[in-house]
Structure 1
Amino acid sequence: METKVSEIAAGIYRLSTLVPDIAPPAGFTFNQFLIDGDEPMLFHCGHRQAFPALAEAVAHVTPVERLRWIGFGHVEADESGAMNQWLAAAPNAQVAHGALGCDISLNDMADRPPRALAQGEVLDLGGKRMRWLATPHVPHGWEAGVFYEETTGTLFCGDLLTHVGDGPALTEADVLGPAIAAEAMFHAMCMTPATGQILRELADLAPRTLALMHGSSFAGDGAAPLRGLAEFCEAGGPPA
């Protein structure tokens, strides 16, 4: 399987691997994002078995050992599985996550102590600014959260707006419709009383790029698909 590297915003690179056996015939992409600054950050670690290919992809942009920060939305194999392999390959790197995720999982799981982030806290990467926003149970996981890169207006959405297929790295086409279709297939989102409100708060950031973990990233009015997803969730989501 080939990992493709594409710049989706200034200094932000998408590393994408298509797995054709998931959701055939369209297949399913697993995406990581490299935020290149004075202190580079990798968002999403990928699976442990995928680490060699992902490390090679990162090296096309910057030496792996330059990584200073490692982040992800929630603790799950495709997001945090290779965490300790990245820590071993980048001796100055540190995992950064919300305080809750550190308390319930990462203080024990990470080979080096993680950096616990408060709600709204910003990591200054030098040229990029990553703001942590906790989104408990959105889309899933008590410790879930997203990062918002302030200089480019890029929201690192994790599993939000997941859709199948191997589309372009960056699209201005509809991502809400495909995401609703994927939710009908996977039933992956938690439909809690707070889900819609949290999605609307993310929309209020008015992101210009949505960096999606599964599927094409989106360029344009990022608030619109987030508000559409909020309406979908508030209406009860897909039929059971």
Structure 2
Amino acid sequence: MQAIQVTDKVYWVGAIDWNIRDFHGYSTNRGTTYNAYLILSDKPTLIDTVKKEFYPEMMARIASVIDPKKIEIIISNHSEMDHSGALPEAVAAIEPKEIYCSDMGLKDLSAQLHPKFPMKVVKTGDKIDIGGDTISFVEARMLHWPDSMFSYLEKENILFTNDVFGMHYATSRLFDDENEERLWLYEAEKYYANIVLPYSDIVLRFLDTVQKMGLSPKMIAPDHGFIWRKDPSKIVNLYAKWAAQAPKNKALVVYDTMWGSTQKMAQYIAEGLRLGGTEVKLLSMHSCHRSDVATELLDSSGLIIGSPVLNSGIFPSMADVLCYLKGLKKKHLVGGAFGSYGWNPGPVHALANTLTELGVEAAAPVVSSKFVPDDSVAQACKALGLAVSQKIAEKLK
């Protein structure tokens, strides 16, 4: 395993996880990377480690450049286990003189790893001299954990951003200009939608803070995906766009079905949306993953949810996706609910409460169908779709 040179003094010494397909409930169809960085200064410095099982790969890459024992400093930008899991083994092998983390990082690392080694706390504005260059720190709390922070290598003008500006994307091509935009753009959007979206207000404030600090890095080096060297502003601008959650004339109809009745209703609703001039996507939870629904929702203004009744409750796949979406806290949504039942319509009508929990403004009452929808239900479904379309249009004015 060889390190990959980033600049004359900086090397990528991370690991590529080609085979991971689920990352705490998020489908990672293109795998991921765990990025760690080695700085060859007078005081050699390692920024972040990797997931525990990839420790040998990281150490082999380090050893291809330098004797690991010569590393004097380790910096932990983020305590999540895919970046700190290998930290205890790395510390035992390297025996660094200093280990740095944020205040919350110290608390989280202590609770997760129960370390027997000392760590030093840094905060925004603190700097350390690594011999020949300086690293300054910027806390990025709740992007996306309380402990998150950035490390800025001043002379090299590289910003190490832990999970921020990254994506779950396994690639042997380390830089943005080596990867096809048509592939990575969806993965970057998916990453934001599923991980960063709940903290969008913090993102906007943080981007403003960084701008006021005058930081304009020539490279942004996150802990997942590739390094932004050709145009770091591209991902920064995308974050600003996604964080703003600007309304778009697009709606999702998310549903599942048992015997096809709820699916028929979904199709009628989609027709109403189309007639109203709204782009619509039907997402059946029989074939879609919850994280793909979240990705589609990122640039949507409408969310209409539908479920059949099973055992006096909504369908399990719908309970799953709705629980997931609730945590992501998407703003500026209008929508509605629908479903079919056999003898107990209560769970369908309870979807109105679910809309409220999701922060969705209902454009029309819940539409329900006893067994197979008839013509009157079909018309009510089209009217629901049209009402949501009209409400979106009002918001876009």
TM-score (norm 2): 0.54
Q: In structure 2, do the counterparts of structure 1 residues 176 and 145 end up closer, same or farther at CA, with 3 Å as the change threshold?
A: farther
Amino acid in the other structure paired with 1:34: L
- Residues in 1 aligned to 2:18 and 2:164: alpha-carbon distance in whole angstroms: 21
Q: CA deviation at 1:198?
A: 0.7
Tell me what 1:188 maps to. Answer: 195
Structure of higher CA gyration radius: 2
Aligned residue for 1:147, secondary structure, equals strand
User: Over residues 173-228 of structure 1, what are the superposed CA-to-partner deviations in whole Å (9 max), with x where a residue is unaligned?
Assistant: 656664113334xx111424222121343354111011121111111342342132
1:235 aligns to 2:233 (yes or no): no
Q: CA deviation at 1:127?
A: 1.7
Q: Which of the numbers 207, 215, 227 marks the counterpart of 1:199?
A: 207
- Residues in 1 aligned to 2:192 and 2:108: alpha-carbon distance in whole angstroms: 27
Q: Which of the numbers 148, 168, 171 marks the counterpart of 2:173?
A: 168
| Structure 1 or 2: more helix by fraction | 2
Structure 2 unaligned runs (5+)?
22-27, 247-293, 298-324, 326-397
- Residues in 1 aligned to 2:148 and 2:105: alpha-carbon distance in whole angstroms: 8
Q: CA deviation at 1:57?
A: 1.1
1:20 aligns to 2:57 (yes or no): no
Tell me what 1:119 maps to. Answer: 124
- Residues in 1 aligned to 2:99 and 2:53: alpha-carbon distance in whole angstroms: 19
Q: CA deviation at 1:25?
A: 5.1
- Residues in 2 aligned to 1:192 and 1:171: alpha-carbon distance in whole angstroms: 24
**Where in structure 2 are the equivalents of 1:219-234 lying within 5 Å?**
219-234=229-244
- Residues in 1 aligned to 2:98 and 2:109: alpha-carbon distance in whole angstroms: 11
- Residues in 1 aligned to 2:210 and 2:236: alpha-carbon distance in whole angstroms: 7
Q: CA deviation at 1:8?
A: 1.2
1:36 aligns to 2:40 (yes or no): yes
Tell me what 1:76 maps to. Answer: 80
Contact 2:2 2:64 in 1 (8 A): no
Amino acid in the other structure paired with 1:92: P
User: Over residues 61-114 of structure 1, what are the superposed CA-to-partner deviations in whole Å (9 max), with x where a residue is unaligned?
Assistant: 111111111112221111111111111112233220123322x23456332211
Q: Which of the numbers 39, 60, 63 marks the counterpart of 1:59?
A: 63
Tell me what 1:11 maps to. Answer: 9
- Residues in 2 aligned to 1:136 and 1:176: alpha-carbon distance in whole angstroms: 25
- Residues in 2 aligned to 1:188 and 1:119: alpha-carbon distance in whole angstroms: 23
Aligned residue for 2:224, secondary structure, equals coil
- Residues in 1 aligned to 2:29 and 2:234: alpha-carbon distance in whole angstroms: 29
Contact 2:101 2:122 in 1 (8 A): yes
Q: CA deviation at 1:4?
A: 4.6
Structure 1 unaligned runs (5+)?
none
Contact 1:98 1:117 in 2 (8 A): yes
User: Over residues 27-74 of structure 1, what are the superposed CA-to-partner deviations in whole Å (9 max), with x where a residue is unaligned?
Assistant: 222211111111111111112222222112101111111111111222
Amino acid in the other structure paired with 2:243: C
- Residues in 2 aligned to 1:232 and 1:198: alpha-carbon distance in whole angstroms: 14
Amino acid in the other structure paired with 1:87: V
Contact 2:15 2:54 in 1 (8 A): no
Q: CA deviation at 1:162?
A: 2.0
Amino acid in the other structure paired with 2:116: D
Determine what percentage of the aligned residue pairs are the same residue: 20
1:213 aligns to 2:223 (yes or no): yes
Aligned residue for 2:90, secondary structure, equals helix
TM-score (norm 1): 0.86
Q: CA deviation at 1:118?
A: 2.5
**Where in structure 2 are the equivalents of 1:124-139 lying within 5 Å?**
124-138=129-143
Q: CA deviation at 1:167?
A: 5.0
